Amino acid sequence: MFRLNINAVDYDLDIDPDTPLLWVLRDHLDMTGTKYGCGINQCGACTVQINGKPVRSCQVAAGKILKQRIVTIEGLSVDSSHVVQAAWVEADVPQCGYCQSGQIMAAAALLDRIPDPSDEDIDRAMNNICRCGTYQRIRKGIHLAAAKLAEKAS
Amino acid sequence: MSKGVAIVGRRGFLKSGVTAAGALLVAFHLPVKSASVPAVVIDESAVGDQADEINAWIFISATGVITVRVAKAEMGQGVLTALPMIIADELEADWSMVRAEFASANRNYVQSGVYRDMATNSSTAIRVSMPYLQLAGAEARQKLIKAAAEKWQVSVDACYAEYGKVYHRPDGRWFSYGTLACLAAELSVANVRIKTPDQFSLMGLPTKRLDTPAKVNGSAVFGMDVRLDGMLYAAIIHSPVEGGVVRNVLFNAIRNMPGVVQMVRLESSVAVVAKTFWEAKVASEKLPVTWRIGDQANSYSDALRDQYIATLDSPGVIVSEQGETTAALDSAETVIQSDYFLPYLAHAAMEPLNCTVRITAARLDLWAGVQNADAALAAAAQASGIRPENVYIHNCFLGGGFGRRANMDFVSEAVTVAKAVGKPVQLIWTREQDMRSGRYRPMAAIRFQVGVDLKNTVVAYTNHSVSHSILKDLGAPLRNGIDPTSVEGLANMPYLISHKKIAHTIKNTHLTSWFWRSVGNSQNAFAMECFVDEMAEATKLDPMAFRKLYLAHRPDLLKVLNVLEQKSQWRHNPAAGRAKGMAIHACFGTIVGQVAEVSISSDGGLMVHKFTSVVDCGHVVNPLSAEMQIESGIIYGLTAALFGKISIENGEVVEGNFDTYSMLKLRETPLMETFFMPADSDRWGGLGEPGLPCVAPAVANAIYKLTKRRIRSLPIADYFLQPV
Ligand code: FES
Ligand code: FES
């Protein structure tokens, strides 16, 4: 039995601690917003935040992240009001949508670190695959979110 | 930071979004006015007709919420918004009251095609369904008007519909649609008339997609997100060599692994069923299986490539012939010949294939993202033995389709497994299974030979292509020994040359081929449009000038070329170290011309900086999703052009995941500018596919300018590029 803190809720889990966080979320907790795309640290569809950093949940054994602050797409905001989510709607980013939870979690973590990222910052940080090719709009969405952040701050 | 403690044991959690009856309800909010209206509903109860629906497509509640049934798959292309727009426009609806719902394939079966063809392919969702969706909307509008006229006891001619209300013209009285819906549902109308394009009020306006809100908070339900009470998970292991069958399997070796429930042995695959997918996957990888594999095991892509190219020397089957090609070639001043080659490609949709099945006594329920719900119903009925009228397909969002999800192999397989298990099962293909047991874009070798006379005119043209035939794999009839999908873009090549001969040879391997975004155009436009640049060089013309000259008889293509020349600033030299390449191609009712701007670093690194696209698809329902589709086609096409290759060793597909089958990333994404030609006829061209075919040739043609080296096979990553 071990305890994970996900979206500010503690979950006591009686499962194999080697289970990757991705499958704990999907199969045990039915939090299906976090997606499986490759399972080998290539695509980023499974991106969540652990202590504010973007982490590929298919690569993290659940038993290794006790007492860490885990945030999934379901916990990014209660009402889709996070700046990145709002910007994504405004910039019409998603197509099929499958990669977008991961993209949004990665983008939100980038903005936490660099509130006004340059194109180069975005190139470096956004390494997730989108098979529908929404990249141009992801870039636009991140700049838009940065502008929203600046507006909030002023 | 913790707000509370929830104790969760294995599978002890309430199924999110799944009601006791198992109905999946995905409710979320419209971005615009009515925050209380869920924009998309996936509801398994929507099977029969509702008593008070206006027609099979439209249900209006007493509060005025308009539910439009969408009989096509939403795989990112935006039909869940565009198709309701068509209906809402005719209906004179208040768009903020419209929500979308997937139509029921069961109802389509039971009511003999009330939703027509639910197949979503060939960029047809709008092209083909347009007229009957318009009729459905117009019929509903006329019923609502008739209902108001009856209530007021006036003539229908004195009434009109606007923005969700029916008005009485003389005195301005009105009823909202919600108050008329019940009565309207009982009425019938004759002489339903649809609008002409100049009367559209909603179509043609960039409109926010209804599915965006659910796709930014994780609530959109894809096939893999379905959760049912008592559901088990299955991982599947297919024969590593296509066509192999299971010889021996030792379930005892994994029987006691955590979570493992049972094994289901099929003819050429084995499913491991467990309490979670992770447990199923881990156990399946440990399962000792041996396979009976025939000659296919001696198959290698390099050898296949050589065989394809060698076959180019044979005459092939004549597709079309005009003039005296042989004589014209003999008398030509110069003859140039080039061979092109394209490898197999996997679809690699972002969401690996999966399907969830629940079979109870005489009823089967199936949840999956499928490009053809009708076909899924038929496949499930066949695999289970349950009568089709008792099969219910709950179409989910597709995490990409690109053609792959129009093949029902994964559906039949999941049904067979669920039947053997006797409990609800979600069967998931790992990424590796998805890629290695794919249905591939055909491999092809393509040869061109042209003769040029003393005046630098191309006088003779021959073309022979050798490709893997999709129709032959399907056992479908060929046309005069030809698979028409194999010669798309070659058989109808538009350039005016007096003597020409086009031939084709079908050559299949042990792999199974399948429709891949833009089908034959994906390989043929690459070869064709690269070779057009070769012809331009042979005739000492600029690529744009050559195309204009040899397409002088095609005003439709010329128009696009002219706009492309201007928008891409074709005549202006690009920044130092960069070059522009172009291509033009027509398919699925749409013409696309593209210019790519590229550079190559001294260490051979290729950068595609910009794509300018000019699109003539005629009318556009939603310009927003239209533009997104072109961008999507460019990235999909560029990924294939730069990296795409499925190779075979010992009969097995080598590439298994994104580490070996590379994908374009954000940092490699060019700036994309897309221009749509104003509609000048009553044409509604497709958009899901036409953005793709020009991408590879435009890039290859630009590379030639920098390197003086022709790219005649893909992917470009196989070349070491050096600027001269
Ligand atoms: S699923 Fe984790 S990186 Fe792809
Ligand atoms: S939106 Fe489809 S994979 Fe990114």
Q: Tell me the pLDDT tens digit for each residue of B516-549.
A: 999 999 999 999 999 999 999 999 999 999 999 9
**What per-residue confidence (pLDDT) applies to B671?**
98
Mean pLDDT of A109-123: 98
Quick check: do B10-214 and B223-292+353-428 share a fold? yes
- Which atom of ligand 1 is closest in space to residue A58's alpha carbon? 2
Contact A98 B400 (CB under 8 A): yes
A65 and A89 part of one domain: no
- Across the range A36-47, mean pLDDT stands at 98
Cβ pair B350:A43 closer than 8 A: yes
Q: Tell me what pLDDT residue B681 has.
A: 83
Residue of A nearest to B433 (CA): A38
**Are residue A11 and residue A58 in the same domain, yes or no?**
yes
Nearest in space to B283 (alpha carbons), one of B296, B264, B298, B297: B264
Question: B478: buried, middle or exposed (CB in 10 Å: 19+, 13-18, 0-12)?
Answer: middle
Q: Which ligand is nearest to the CA of B636?
A: 2
Picking from B215, B276, B428 by the largest number of A CB atoms within 10 A of its own CB, the best residue to mutate is B215
Q: Whose CA is nearest to atom 3 of ligand 1?
A: A41
Q: For all residues of chain B together, what is the average pLDDT?
A: 92
**Domain end call among A76, A103, A118:** A76
B168 CA distance to ligand 2 middle (Å) = 47
pLDDT 10s digits, B212-271: 999 999 999 999 999 999 999 999 999 999 999 999 999 999 999 999 999 999 999 999
Q: Does B430 touch chain A (CB under 8 A)?
A: yes
Taking the CA of residue B349 as reference, the ligand 2 atom at the shortest distance is 3
Looking at residue A128, which CATH number applies to its domain?
A: 1.10.150.120
Last residue of a domain, one of A76, A107, A136: A76
Please write the tens of the pLDDT for every residue from B63-118: 999 999 999 999 999 999 999 999 999 999 999 999 999 999 999 999 999 999 99
Predicted local distance difference test score (pLDDT) of residue B653: 98
Rg (CA), chain B: 28
- Look at the pTM and tell me if it is higher than 0.90: yes
pLDDT tens digits for range B164-173: 999 999 999 9
pLDDT band at B123 (very low <50, low <70, confident <90, very high): confident
**Type of residue at B342:** L
The pLDDT of residue B7: 37
Residues A72, A99: one domain? no
| CATH code: domain of residue A72 | 3.10.20.30
- Ligand 2 centroid vs A34 CA: distance in angstroms? 13
Q: What is the largest CA-CA distance in chain B?
A: 87
In this structure, the answer to whether residues A14 and A56 fall within a common structural domain is yes
Q: Give A103 Cα–ligand 1 centroid separation in angstroms.
A: 12
Q: How far is the CA of A99 from the centre of ligand 2 (A)?
A: 5
pLDDT for the residue B12: 30
pLDDT, position A154: 84
Sheet with A47-50, strands from edge to edge, namely A53-56, A47-50, A69-71, A2-6, A9-13, B5-8
**In angstroms, what separates the C-alpha of B42 from chain A's closest C-alpha?**
16
State pLDDT tens for residues A55-101: 999 999 999 999 999 999 999 999 999 999 999 999 999 999 999 99
- How close, in Å, is residue A112 to chain B by CA atoms? 18
Which B positions 270-329 lie with beta carbon below 8 A of chain A?
276-278
Reply yes or no on whether the pLDDT at B3 is more than 60: no
The DSSP-derived string for B591-647 is EEEEEEEEEE-TT--EEEEEEEEEEE-B--S-HHHHHHHHHHHHHHHHHHHHH--B-
From B191's Cα to the closest Cα of chain A, the distance in A is 38
- Residues B373, B118: contact at Cβ < 8 Å? yes
Q: A66 and A92: one domain? A: no
| Beta strand pairing call for B98-102 and B40-41 | parallel
Distance from CA of B347 to the nearest CA of A (A): 9
**Both A112 and A52 in a single domain?**
no
pLDDT at res. B13: 31
- Indicate whether A11 and A43 sit together in one domain: yes
Label residue B513 by pLDDT band (50, 70, 90): very high
- Residue B51: per-residue pLDDT: 66
Ligand 1: centre distance to CA A55 (Å): 10
Nearest to B391 by CA among B374, B410, B408, B369: B374
> How far is it, in rounded angstroms, from Cα B203 to Cα B134?
11
Burial class (CB in 10 A: 0-12, 13-18, 19+), A139: buried
Q: Which two tokens stand for residue B386?
A: 């349950």
Give the one of B5, B213, B218 whose C-beta lies nearest to A12's C-beta: B5
Mind listing the pLDDT tens digit for each residue in B390-422? 999 999 999 999 999 999 999 999 999 999 999
- Ligand 2: residue of B211, B212, B350, B665 to mutate (most ligand atoms within 8 A of CB) is B350
Q: What pLDDT digit, counting tens, does each position of B308-352 carry?
A: 999 999 999 999 999 999 999 999 999 999 999 999 999 999 999
Residue of chain A nearest B351, judged by CA positions:
A37
Tell me: pLDDT of B285 over 90. Answer: yes
Hey, of A10, A19, A22, A38, which one would you mutate to test binding to chain B, going by the most B CBs within 10 A of its CB? A38
Domain B10-214 has CATH 3.40.50.300: no
Ligand 1 neighbours (beta carbon < 6 A): A 36-39, 41-46, 56, 58
**Residue B49 banded pLDDT, cuts 50, 70, 90:** low
Which pair of structure tokens corresponds to residue B521? Answer: 């155009």
Q: ipTM higher than 0.95?
A: yes
Domain B223-292+353-428, CATH: 3.30.365.10
Q: Domain check: are A35 and A88 in the same one?
A: no
**Order of all β-strands in the sheet with B354-360:** B260-265, B269-274, B232-238, B425-428, B354-360, B363-368, B391-395
Q: What is the pLDDT of residue B268?
A: 97
The whole-number pLDDT of residue B52 equals 81
**pLDDT exceeds 70 at position B42:** no
Protein fold of B301-344+440-718: Aldehyde Oxidoreductase; domain 4 (3.30.365)
Report the atom number in ligand 1 closest to the C-alpha of A36. 1
The number of residues in chain B equals 724
Alpha carbons within 13 A on the beta-carbon side of B624? 23
Beta bridge partners of B222: B397
Please give the residue range of the domain that contains residue A125.
83-153
A102 Cα: distance to centroid of ligand 1 (angstroms): 9
Percentage of chain B exceeding pLDDT 70: 93
Which of A61, A76, A91 is a domain's end point? A76
Probe target for ligand 2 pocket from A38, A96, A126, with the most ligand atoms within 8 Å of CB: A96
The 10s digit of each residue's pLDDT in B461-503 is 999 999 999 999 999 999 999 999 999 999 999 999 999 999 9
Which residues' Cβ are closer than 6 Å to ligand 2?
A 94-100, 130-132, 134; B 76, 350, 400
A/B interface, count of CB pairs below 8 Å: 219
* Nearest ligand, measured from the Cα of B369: 2
Q: Could you give the number of structural domains in chain A?
A: 2
Interface check B9 vs A, CB under 8 A: yes
DSSP state of A27: I
Q: Are residues A34 and A69 in the same domain?
A: yes
Ligand 2 atom nearest to B350, measured from its CA: 3
Contact flag A35-B222 (C-beta cutoff 8 Å): yes
Taking CB atoms and an 8 Å limit, are A137 and B624 in contact across chains? no
Query: What is the number of the ligand closest to the CA of A60?
Result: 1
Closest ligand 2 atom to the C-alpha of A93? Answer: 1
- Interface contact B667-A32, CB threshold 8 A: no
Pair of tokens at residue B451: 């003769």
A88 in the same domain as A67: no
pLDDT of residue B124: 76
